[in-house]
Amino acid sequence: MEPQLQPQTQRPVKPKEKPETAWRYVLSFVWMILFTAIAFIVVGGGLVESKTAIFWVLIISASIQVVLQLFTFMHLNQKGYGIVILFMGVGLVIAVVSAVGMVLM
59-79 pLDDT, tens digit per residue, is 899 989 988 888 888 887 778
**What mean pLDDT comes out for the span 89-103?**
92
C-alpha distances in Å from residue 45, one per residue of 36, 52, 54: 13, 16, 11
Q: Judge whether residue 33 has pLDDT over 90.
A: yes
Residue 8: per-residue pLDDT: 65
Would you put residue 87 in left (φ > 0), alpha (ψ -120 to 50) or beta?
alpha
Task: Report pTM.
Answer: 0.64
- CA–CA distance, 75 with 77 (Å, rounded to integer): 5
Q: What are the DSSP calls for 1-22, one per residue? A: -PPPPPPPPPPPPPPPPPPP-H
pLDDT at 4 over 80: no
How far, in Å, CA of 19 to CA of 62, rounded? Answer: 28
Split at pLDDT 50, 70, 90, the class of 51 is confident
